[in-house]
Amino acid sequence: MTTPSGGIPWRLLRGSASAVAGASWLAVLILVAAVLPVFVTEAANHQDLALRFEEPFGTGHGIAYVLGADSLGRPMLLQLIVGARTSLVVAGLTVAISALAGFAIGVLSGYAGGWLDTVLMRLADILHTVPSLLLALAVLYVLEPSITNLVLVLAITRMPVYLRTARAQTLELRERVFVESSRSLGATNARIMTRDIAPLVAPTIRTLAMLEVANVILAAASLSFLGIGLQRPDVDWGMMVADGRSYLASAWWVTVLPGLAVLATALSASILSNWLRAVEDPTQRGAFLSRSRRPAGAKA
Amino acid sequence: MLTFLLRRLVTSVVTVVGVVVIVFFLARLTGSPANLYLPEGASPERYEQFNREHGFDLPLWEQFVRFLGGVLRLDFGDSIWQQRPALEAAAEAMPPTLLLALIAMTGSLAVAVPLGAAAARRRFRLADRVITLSSLTTASIPDFWFALVGVLFLSIQLGLLPTSGDATVASWVLPVATLMLAPVGVLTQVTRGAMIDALGSGYVQNARARGLSPSRLVYRHALRNAALPLLTVAGDRAAGMVNGAIIVGTVFAFPGIGTLIVGAVLNRDFALIQASIFIVGVAVVLLNILVDLTYALADPRVRIS
Amino acid sequence: MTTRTSRRIAAFAAVPLVFLAACSGQGPGTAAGTDLTIALAVEPVSLDPCDTQDATNAVVLRTNVTESLTRIDPETGEVVPFLAESWEQVDPSTWRFTLRQGVRFHDGTPFDAAAAAASINRVLDPELNCQNLDQFPYPLTATALDAATLQVVSESPDSILPLRISYADIGAPATPAGEKTSSPVGTGPYRFAERVQGQSVTLTRNDDYWGQAGQATSVRYVYREEPSVRAGMARTGEASIAVPVSVQDATDDDRTREYQDNRVFFLRTSTEKAPFTDPRVRRAAQQAIDKQTIVGSLMERTGTPFDQIVASTVNGHIDGFTGPAFDPAAAEQLLRAAEADGVDVRAPIDLVTRPDLFPGSDEVIQAIHQNLQSVGFTVNILSLDTDAWLQLLRSPFPPDQKATIIAISHDNISGDASFSFPKYMAGDGSNSTIRNPEIDALLAEAEQAGGAERAALYQRAAEIEYRDVNAFLPIALQSKLLMLGPGIEYQPNSLTGVELSVADIAITTG
């Protein structure tokens, strides 16, 4: 059986170089994003037009400008640090909210069945079909663009994935013998859901969530590209990539560096989740995918 | 089988109606279109006239009732932006998007399945690592960035491809490649995972013990096992291609429903927003039914009752 | 270093694609023969001759498909004959136009005074909701006196009617009266051939044109939203002209051409909301912005620092006037003084803009934001889409709205301030936050006046605004860039933004 609490077997990490690299990148990033922005935000947002497109790896202007400056002469390094916080907060919160909500609703839906299940699943279908762009425009228009609202929009659009996955697994688990025995021992439905089923669904959701980190960072970047993301002076990596795109030919670092940051982070999250899946019980591997979208009532 | 289809159709209708209702209210949250369509200095009377003409002066519930009445007759009203029936404009934009999505999805599967299978067979060896890393990388590149880099270098600097449009076969290359980016990465991973699963299962172990050759095992049994998760993810990604097509439309001016929806939203063309999303909704729902039916074909264990 | 690195990136990104490209076996098309392709940023919304006030419509139609009785000479700014040969003012509110003979519409019907009258009256039909109606603030009636004489009577005296009439593009009598058309029929050197919505508009040469015919046999307009893609099309020859292109995509050779379309970029403060209720605060905002540096380094070729809201070609422009210089210390002092008198100078302000105001406008706005913040304003950037931006630009303003500074890019190609000042400065102007009786009186008087007197009155109104009211923060006189494809010759002028005459495009090779 898989480690029921979803605990990560750190000892095994040493076996995989790419997993170590991914984990270290994420760890350093989280640390940097948690600690540094408080000290550097002001300097990061300070424009100095005299330093517009200062080339990277120069030495004349101090460590802040080691990665060059952007189109308004802001230090790229500091912008990346502040952007890291926003990107991680947006990605982290979005994934956490959508995963937890999707997880809870999915387990409830799958366990309860009946009309509740039908209603919740139709809602998920509907959310899945409304283009996220329209939702983004409407929400950001009515509620003003802010990190909170961006998270809200992204969380709503990403939730159905978790909901379906959790539900499909619950559908199967609730027929298992140990659930029956819990029930015959007099356990309440709430107890069965939280104690018996949820712990078995959790690892699947966790794997999925780590894969989604990349998706969310990219989705936020696409919104910035279309002009409906955050507003300056808030900055995230996606916005930096989008803003710098017109200088691709003349000042590559303005868009390539944040692009690489997105890439490295998304890659690290994917590698880690891959690795986690690999070290876990082989029978769990890939199972979530095969069950996530089976039609209701089409169980074997 | 028939009852299954009927049930799916009923729930699908519910979904589409739900989408249409949500979109009706979402669209109206984005503000009145009058300013966009009236010149500067237009008198209040002209604003009133404009709103009356398009029914925006009615209470919201009445607009909604009228709208629902129209939907029942498949009449979404006229697009104020394009000045023609909204459904016609939306229906016209759908074929290029469908074709693009079909090509991109077929292409993704054609690239991802062999790569994933190869990686699974050589698990933890160099080939596996290279394939895994590169597929994860393609899934992590911002699509608009890839599109712009593609135009800059392949079209402008090297002159290999047209920058934009859909006039020639060559102009499809970059849009298709942009749309394939993420699906290729994800599908490779899915194939790899499912095949490793299958290769480790008792069934395959048994077959191997009976002396079936490894390559036949891979292609006969393991791939069949991978079909279900592949279909699930491919179906999901295909539905998501409407969103991806927005980027393709914006950068390459590639016609399609994604660009049309963006234009409709920016032009506050409620009728066109509703009609396009109705069509997208119908397409997504049909796609889901198709995916479910294919499940049954791909895996006899999935009984459809 | 830069190019080498980017080449390396190119090579990296290119590997999987070169294969695909090789398979497809087709390179980019070239603008072969005399068929031109023009890459525009936005698709025209309407092709009706009465909707040419919007530049996106006009750039396709005007002087190509449709023509007007008079036109503005792009060199001198004078009103010159076009479909009318001459005109005279019979009394203060009556003008008579003698029309050109022998002109035919594309559908073969002759152009005469009746056709012109019908077309002009169509613009003025309020039910039709024409954009060009905006240019005709007073009701007027056009009647045909005989085949070659058209009489236009306006309800109140109008000294600039010949200029105004240049905004009425003449469509054929067959144009439906009660509804808009999407297949315009005019008298111009090119006839409308086809429109594929979302993709292109095609015009073909009118071989029976009355004037100097163009070299190109056809022209196709396509729309490319991304500026770099647009420029790329001209560089590769996929487009004959790309317009507009942004500074960073411009080339140093003669393929990139610069033109002025009398467009001014300025900010407007909401004078009825704190802290802008106090003129000192508005003056402080003006002095806080370092427009020399901002315009010089961010707008480069596309802007010059500017102190007024209309270009020097407009009669309301005051020659030699200079606004307050950049002086953050003075700005801070003004703010302190206002604060001492109880003005809430820290009240939050939205700096409202839209991403497509002009290429690179987002950066300019961010630089202005920093300037304003550093003297002590509390400013928040709000970048909206056009519809939302318009809600804040036009009165009536939402009552619960915060204090705003809204970014505006306003063009006036007519040369007459009546197309700018009443809208932006009068107490009842649709885009005005100024409530100044003195300005109102001057503007009303100017409306009735003509010639030098009219100009003097407009300039006096402008002077009051610039010296005492300070509701505007003028930033830059804008220029635009376009890019020519290989073998194409075209010299842009001040009207290129609204009438890109295909007949003026020369094909030097191919």
In this structure, the answer to whether residues C430 and C296 fall within a common structural domain is yes
In this structure, the answer to whether residues C419 and C276 fall within a common structural domain is yes
Continuous segment of H or E residues that includes residue C258: strand C256-269
Main-chain dihedrals φ then ψ at residue C199, nearest 5 degrees: -130, -55
Structure confidence at residue B201 (pLDDT)? 66
Give partners of B (≥3 CB pairs < 8 A): A, C
Distance CA B38, CA B20 (A): 28
Distance CA C131, CA C51 (A): 5
Instruction: State whether residue B134 sits within 8 Å of chain A by CB.
Output: no
CB atoms within 10 A of CB B208: 14
- The minimum CA-CA distance between B281 and chain A, rounded to whole Å, is 6
The number of C-beta contacts closer than 8 angstroms across A and B is: 175
Main-chain dihedrals φ then ψ at residue C66, nearest 5 degrees: -110, 155
In this structure, the answer to whether residues C391 and C298 fall within a common structural domain is yes
CB burial of residue A77 (10 Å; 0-12, 13-18, 19+): buried
Q: Is residue C17 part of a domain?
A: no
Could you tell me which of C221, C301, C299, C231 has the C-alpha nearest to residue C56? C221
Residue A223: closest CA among chain B residues belongs to which residue? B247
- Contact check, Cβ <8 Å, A252/C297: no
Interface of A with B in 237-266 (CB under 8 A): 238, 241-242, 245, 248-249, 255, 259, 262-263, 266
Given a cut of 50, the residues of chain A with pLDDT beneath it are: 1-7, 281-300
pLDDT at B126 over 70: yes
pLDDT at B280 over 90: no
Q: Is residue C495 part of a domain?
A: no
Distance CA C424, CA C469 (A): 13
In this structure, the answer to whether residues C176 and C301 fall within a common structural domain is no
Distance CA A167, CA A174 (A): 10
Distance CA C448, CA C451 (A): 10
Distance CA C14, CA B86 (A): 40
In this structure, the answer to whether residues C306 and C415 fall within a common structural domain is yes
Residue A227: closest CA among chain C residues belongs to which residue? C355
Could you tell me which of C89, C172, C164 has the C-alpha nearest to residue C124? C164
- Considering C156, C186, C216, which residue would you say is the last residue of a domain? C186
- The minimum CA-CA distance between B91 and chain A, rounded to whole Å, is 17
Residues from chain C that touch B30, judged by Cβ atoms under 8 A, are 387-388
Q: Is residue C7 part of a domain?
A: no
Question: Where would I find the beta strands (DSSP E) of chain B?
Answer: 78-79, 84-85
CB atoms within 10 A of CB B64: 15
Interface of C with B in 227-246 (CB under 8 A): 228-229, 232-233, 235-236, 238
Distance CA B86, CA C438 (A): 49
Residues from chain A that touch C249, judged by Cβ atoms under 8 A, are 246, 249
- The minimum CA-CA distance between B169 and chain C, rounded to whole Å, is 6
Interface of B with A in 199-218 (CB under 8 A): 200
In this structure, the answer to whether residues C270 and C418 fall within a common structural domain is yes
- The minimum CA-CA distance between B271 and chain C, rounded to whole Å, is 16
Instruction: Give the tens place of pLDDT for each residue, C206-259.
Output: 999 999 888 999 999 999 888 888 999 999 999 999 999 988 888 888 999 999
Residue A137: closest CA among chain C residues belongs to which residue? C385
The CA distances from residue B229 to A180, B140, B191, B238, C130, in Å, are 29, 21, 8, 14, 56
Residues from chain B that touch C137, judged by Cβ atoms under 8 A, are 41
In this structure, the answer to whether residues C138 and C277 fall within a common structural domain is no
The per-residue DSSP string of A112-136 comes to H-HHHHHHHHHHHHHHHHS-HHHHH
The number of C-beta contacts closer than 8 angstroms across B and C is: 156
Residues from chain B that touch A122, judged by Cβ atoms under 8 A, are 11, 14-15, 18
Q: Is residue C71 part of a domain?
A: yes
Could you tell me which of C205, C118, C127, C217 has the C-alpha nearest to residue C168? C118
Structure confidence at residue B60 (pLDDT)? 87
- Contact check, Cβ <8 Å, C381/A231: yes
Distance CA A165, CA A104 (A): 11
The CA distances from residue C484 to C42, C56, C242, C254, C263, in Å, are 18, 19, 7, 8, 22
Percent over 70 (pLDDT), chain C: 93
Structure confidence at residue C105 (pLDDT)? 95
In this structure, the answer to whether residues C305 and C432 fall within a common structural domain is yes
C268 or B205: which leads in pLDDT: C268
Query: CATH no. for residue C411?
Result: 3.10.105.10
Token pair listed for A296: 């209701």
Reported as a pLDDT band with limits 50, 70 and 90, residue B84 is confident
Instruction: Give the tens place of pLDDT for each residue, B185-209.
Output: 888 988 888 787 777 766 666 766 7
Residue among B148, B154, B253 minimizing CB distance to C21: B154
Q: Which domain holds residue C309?
A: 263-478
Residue among B136, B142, B232 minimizing CB distance to A270: B136
Residue among A137, A262, A270 minimizing CB distance to B142: A262
What is the Rg, in whole angstroms, of the alpha carbon atoms belonging to chain A? Answer: 22
Residue among A134, A161, A290 minimizing CB distance to B229: A290
DSSP label of C170: B
Distance CA C441, CA C280 (A): 24
Instruction: Give the tens place of pLDDT for each residue, C322-344.
Output: 999 999 999 999 999 999 999 99
The torsion of the CA quartet B23, B28, B31, B37, rounded to 10 degrees, works out to 90
- Contact check, Cβ <8 Å, C366/A227: no
Distance CA B90, CA B83 (A): 13
Structure confidence at residue B286 (pLDDT)? 86
C64 or B164: which leads in pLDDT: C64
* Range of lowest pLDDT (B290-304, C178-192, C262-276): B290-304
- Structural domains in chain C (count): 2
Query: Can you give B120-179 as a three-state secondary structure string?
Result: HHCCCCHHHHHHHHHHHHHCCCCHHHHHHHHHHHHHHHCCCCCCCCCCCHHHHHHHHHHH
Q: Is residue C378 part of a domain?
A: yes
Q: What mean pLDDT value characterizes chain C? A: 88
Interface of B with A in 252-271 (CB under 8 A): 261-262, 265
pLDDT at C471 over 70: yes
- Contact check, Cβ <8 Å, B39/C131: yes
Hey, of A53, A72, A142, A143, which one would you mutate to test binding to chain C, going by the most C CBs within 10 A of its CB? A72
Token pair listed for A30: 């989280």
Instruction: State whether residue B130 sits within 8 Å of chain A by CB.
Output: no
Residue type, C39: A
- Considering C186, C204, C236, which residue would you say is the last residue of a domain? C186
Give partners of A (≥3 CB pairs < 8 A): B, C
- Considering C131, C154, C186, which residue would you say is the last residue of a domain? C186
Reported as a pLDDT band with limits 50, 70 and 90, residue C480 is very high
Q: Is residue C24 part of a domain?
A: no
- Contact check, Cβ <8 Å, C385/A250: no
Token pair listed for C316: 């309301």
In this structure, the answer to whether residues C273 and C169 fall within a common structural domain is no
Interface of A with B in 161-200 (CB under 8 A): 161
Residues from chain C that touch B263, judged by Cβ atoms under 8 A, are 198
Could you tell me which of C264, B231, B186, B262 has the C-alpha nearest to residue A292? B231
Residues from chain C that touch B163, judged by Cβ atoms under 8 A, are 28, 224, 229, 232-233, 236, 238
- The minimum CA-CA distance between A138 and chain B, rounded to whole Å, is 5
Complete domains list, chain A, with CATH: 15-293 (1.10.3720.10)
Q: What mean pLDDT value characterizes chain B? A: 82
Complete domains list, chain B, with CATH: 87-298 (1.10.3720.10)
* Range of lowest pLDDT (C30-34, C54-58, C73-77, C440-444): C30-34
pLDDT at C450 over 50: yes
- Contact check, Cβ <8 Å, A47/C1: no
In this structure, the answer to whether residues C323 and C462 fall within a common structural domain is yes
Q: Is residue C248 part of a domain?
A: no
Instruction: Give the tens place of pLDDT for each residue, C74-114.
Output: 888 889 999 999 999 999 889 999 999 999 999 999 999 99
Q: Is residue C157 part of a domain?
A: yes
User: What is the SS3 assignment for B300?
Assistant: coil
Instruction: Give the tens place of pLDDT for each residue, C353-407.
Output: 988 898 889 999 999 999 999 999 999 998 888 888 988 998 888 887 889 999 9
Query: CATH no. for residue C77?
Result: 3.40.190.10
- Contact check, Cβ <8 Å, B304/A161: no
- Contact check, Cβ <8 Å, C430/B163: no
Interface of A with C in 84-143 (CB under 8 A): 137, 141
Token pair listed for A143: 């509620």
In this structure, the answer to whether residues C173 and C311 fall within a common structural domain is no
The CA distances from residue C364 to A245, C292, C454, in Å, are 17, 12, 35
Instruction: Give the tens place of pLDDT for each residue, A52-96.
Output: 888 888 777 888 888 989 989 899 999 999 999 998 999 999 999
- Contact check, Cβ <8 Å, A289/B246: no
- How remote is the C-alpha of C406 from its chain's centroid? 17
Give partners of C (≥3 CB pairs < 8 A): A, B
Residues from chain B that touch A134, judged by Cβ atoms under 8 A, are 23, 26-27, 261, 265, 273, 277
In this structure, the answer to whether residues C165 and C73 fall within a common structural domain is yes
- The minimum CA-CA distance between B164 and chain C, rounded to whole Å, is 7
Do C504 and C64 contact (CB within 8 A), yes or no?
A: no
- Contact check, Cβ <8 Å, C1/A144: no
Do A268 and A26 contact (CB within 8 A), yes or no?
A: yes
Residue among B142, B233, B246 minimizing CB distance to A259: B142
Structure confidence at residue B107 (pLDDT)? 93
Residue B283: closest CA among chain A residues belongs to which residue? A129
- The minimum CA-CA distance between B5 and chain C, rounded to whole Å, is 37
Reported as a pLDDT band with limits 50, 70 and 90, residue B218 is low
